[in-house]
């Protein structure tokens, strides 16, 4: 991982990969190209506000910033033609040398790597099977096993190949589920997996006894060499290219067993079939290779020390505000390995909650993204800052803006009003999505004072709801958790009049819609 400005230890060259010329230091700036005329250029020219990223490598915040060496490799790759199968083979061999894995492949992101790996485990490079994916009618391999601890939204890349997901939670359940129909076992890398009965070593032992490969999703992790997941028995491991590695955001890595990685390439673009849309260009491929080349040269201890020093600087600067407590938290395990700074205070005494500060920074100038935080004491509120996507000078900027807001807090949200309506009952919903309309959703609500409880039933699933009533405004939230392999968050807000409600629906990552509801008699 690399926060902008961390030391890499001297001038570096990547030889033939980057044309043999000396490359800029890792903290060199990137001048945005002018887009249009006038004082605004780059993103600003089209009305998009750049931001200071104190949250981390979130895809929705565009991941990380590419290293200068990566940008240089992309530029050079864009100037000549190559045959993509030959390029994939050469990159695969070089990735094997760099990572000590048997073979490697560049994909269009970690999710695509999971999909191609799953296809390799199902069809094994057989084009007769490949062209039928995701219809597995008549296939021998039709199931993917996922331990309960690994269910998450990213497993959609596995089921997209047509595989049925089989959930297990114990060693006995895994052993019973394994069979000739099992294509693979998928593991989501995180600290809790190592402490579980079904850790990677145990899974690999049982899976290999049944002739089944193990695929690890390590998208947000650092790239360990030799690879810790392969050493624990995994056959394949997928990484994001645009997170810790600071390669192209639209690229990823698949490492592991040579036969399966080569089959995964055959099941990817430029070849036809279900995965044609997951195309990785020569530019991203060479940029991703450059990121791995740099990964093995970077001084990771110096980078970590730099991030920690930035957090200490923020803590020192905000200490001028009385009543704050600060703590630098060091991570556990391998995932997203970066320190973070938690700043807490008594919300009532200071007159502001952490989320209000987070919102003000997001809407301010400069635009700053950090997280809200809380403490063991319910009266405590605060913020959390992750440093490894920061650039030089960002720590001072964040501290300065925090001090301003904490000394002169923005107005608190308007307190709720006593309810003037009753939302109890069964409500038939009419939701107008971006390009469709649904009347299949239903809310069953019970109101007790200003509080609401109940259920939200959609097209396929039901989930519990909580909510509040302020005056005639009704707010209802439902959540369908990742333990099911999906994550759906709906926040209905509208005004109730008689037996009708209408307003806006916030669906989180799926943006917004409008809705209305009619109370059933």
**Range in 73-87, 160-174, 200-214, 323-337 with the lowest mean pLDDT:** 323-337
Of 271 and 27, more confident = 271
What is the C-alpha to C-alpha distance for residues 161 and 111, in angstroms, rounded to an integer?
A: 12
300-407 belongs to which CATH class?
alpha beta
Of 91 and 482, more confident = 91
Element (H, E) at 407: helix 394-407
Mean pLDDT on 418-443? 98
Q: What pLDDT is attached to residue 131?
A: 96
- Please say whether the dihedral angle defined by the alpha carbons of residues 457, 463, 464 and 470, taken in this order, is positive or negative: negative
* Contacts (Cβ under 8 Å, ≥6 apart) of 276: 269, 270
Mean pLDDT on 263-288? 96
| Helix/strand/coil percent split, the chain, to 5 | 30, 25, 45
What is the C-alpha to C-alpha distance for residues 405 and 410, in angstroms, rounded to an integer?
A: 7
Asked if 65-295 and 300-407 have one fold, the answer is no
Sequence ranges of the domains in the chain: 65-295, 300-407, 425-519
Q: What pLDDT is attached to residue 195?
A: 86
Q: Which of 201, 191, 224, 149 is nearest to 333 (CA)?
A: 191
Element (H, E) at 253: strand 252-256
Q: What pLDDT is attached to residue 502?
A: 98
Q: What pLDDT is attached to residue 39?
A: 62
Give residue-wise pLDDT tens across range 178-190.
Answer: 999 999 999 999 8
Residue 412 banded pLDDT, cuts 50, 70, 90: confident
Characterize 463-483 residue by residue with b for buried, 16 or more Cβ atoms within 10 angstroms of its Cβ, and e for exposed: bebebbbbeebbbbbbbbeee
Share of the chain above pLDDT 70, in %: 92
Give residue-wise pLDDT tens across range 4-60.
Answer: 233 333 333 344 454 443 333 344 344 444 444 456 779 999 999 999 999 999 999
* Contacts (Cβ under 8 Å, ≥6 apart) of 106: 88, 91, 95, 241, 251, 252, 253, 280, 284, 285, 288, 289
CB 179 within 8 A of CB 114: no
Q: How far is CA 413 from the centre of its chain?
A: 30
Give residue-wise pLDDT tens across range 455-476.
Answer: 999 999 999 999 999 999 999 9
Q: What pLDDT is attached to residue 486?
A: 86
pTM for the model: 0.89
Q: Which of 242, 221, 236 is nearest to 333 (CA)?
A: 221
What is the C-alpha to C-alpha distance for residues 338 and 300, in angstroms, rounded to an integer?
A: 11
CATH architecture type of domain 65-295: 3-Layer(aba) Sandwich (3.40)
CB 273 within 8 A of CB 280: no
Give residue-wise pLDDT tens across range 110-150.
Answer: 999 999 999 999 999 999 999 999 999 999 999 999 999 99
Give the CA dihedral 109, 85, 89, 143, nearest 10 degrees: 50
333 has a pLDDT exceeding 80: no
Residue 338 banded pLDDT, cuts 50, 70, 90: confident
CATH number of 425-519: 2.40.128.120
Q: What is the mean pLDDT of the chain?
A: 91
What six digits make up the tokens of 234? Answer: 């995994």
């Amino acid at each position: 991982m690399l926060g902008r400005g961390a030391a890499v230890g001297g001038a570096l060259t990547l030889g033939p990969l980057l044309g043999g010329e000396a490359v800029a230091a890792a903290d060199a700036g990137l001048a945005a190209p002018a887009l249009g005329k006038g004082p605004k250029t780059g993103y600003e020219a089209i009305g998009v506000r750049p931001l200071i990223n104190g949250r981390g490598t979130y895809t929705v915040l565009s991941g990380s910033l590419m290293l200068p060496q990566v940008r240089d490799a992309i530029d050079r790759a864009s100037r000549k033609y190559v045959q993509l199968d030959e390029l994939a083979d050469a990159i695969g061999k070089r990735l094997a040398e760099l990572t000590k894995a048997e073979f490697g492949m560049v994909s269009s992101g970690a999710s695509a790597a999971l999909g191609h790996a799953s296809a390799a485990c199902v069809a094994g490079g057989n084009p007769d099977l490949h062209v039928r994916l995701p219809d597995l009618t008549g296939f021998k391999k039709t199931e993917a096993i996922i331990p309960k601890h690994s269910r998450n939204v990213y497993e959609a890349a596995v089921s997209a190949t047509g595989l049925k997901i089989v959930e297990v939670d114990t060693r006995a359940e895994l052993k019973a589920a394994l069979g000739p129909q099992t294509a693979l076992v998928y593991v989501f890398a995180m600290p809790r997996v190592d402490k579980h009965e079904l850790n990677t070593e145990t899974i690999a032992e049982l899976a290999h006894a049944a002739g089944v490969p193990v695929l690890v999703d390590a998208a947000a992790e650092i790239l360990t060499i030799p690879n810790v997941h392969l050493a624990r028995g995994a056959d394949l491991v997928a990484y994001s290219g645009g997170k810790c590695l600071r390669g192209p955001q639209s690229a990823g890595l698949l490492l592991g067993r040579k036969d399966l990685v080569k089959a995964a390439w055959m099941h990817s673009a430029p070849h036809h079939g279900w995965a044609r849309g997951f195309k990785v260009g020569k530019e991203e491929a060479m940029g991703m290779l450059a990121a791995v080349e740099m990964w093995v040269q970077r001084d990771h201890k110096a980078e970590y020390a730099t991030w920690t020093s930035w957090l200490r600087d923020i803590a020192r600067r905000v200490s001028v505000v009385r009543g704050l407590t600060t703590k630098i938290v060091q991570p556990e395990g391998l995932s997203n390995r970066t320190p973070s700074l938690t700043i807490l205070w008594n919300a009532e005494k200071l007159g502001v909650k952490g989320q209000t500060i987070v919102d003000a920074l997001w809407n301010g100038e400069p635009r700053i993204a950090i997280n809200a935080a809380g403490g063991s004491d319910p009266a405590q509120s605060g913020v959390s800052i992750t440093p490894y996507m920061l650039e030089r000078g960002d720590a001072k900027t964040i501290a300065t803006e925090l001090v301003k807001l904490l000394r002169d807090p923005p107005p608190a949200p308007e307190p709720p009003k006593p309810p003037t309506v009753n939302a109890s009952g069964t409500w038939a919903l009419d939701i107008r999505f971006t390009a469709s309309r649904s009347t299949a959703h239903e809310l069953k609500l019970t109101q007790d004072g200003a509080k609401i409880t109940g259920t939200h039933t959609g097209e396929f699933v039901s989930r519990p709801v909580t909510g509040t009533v302020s005056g005639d405004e009704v707010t209802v939230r439902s959540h369908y958790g990742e333990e099911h392999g999906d994550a759906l968050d709906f926040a209905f807000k509208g005004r109730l009049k008689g037996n009708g409600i209408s307003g806006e629906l916030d669906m989180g990552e799926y943006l917004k819609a409008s809705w209305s509801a009619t109370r059933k008699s």
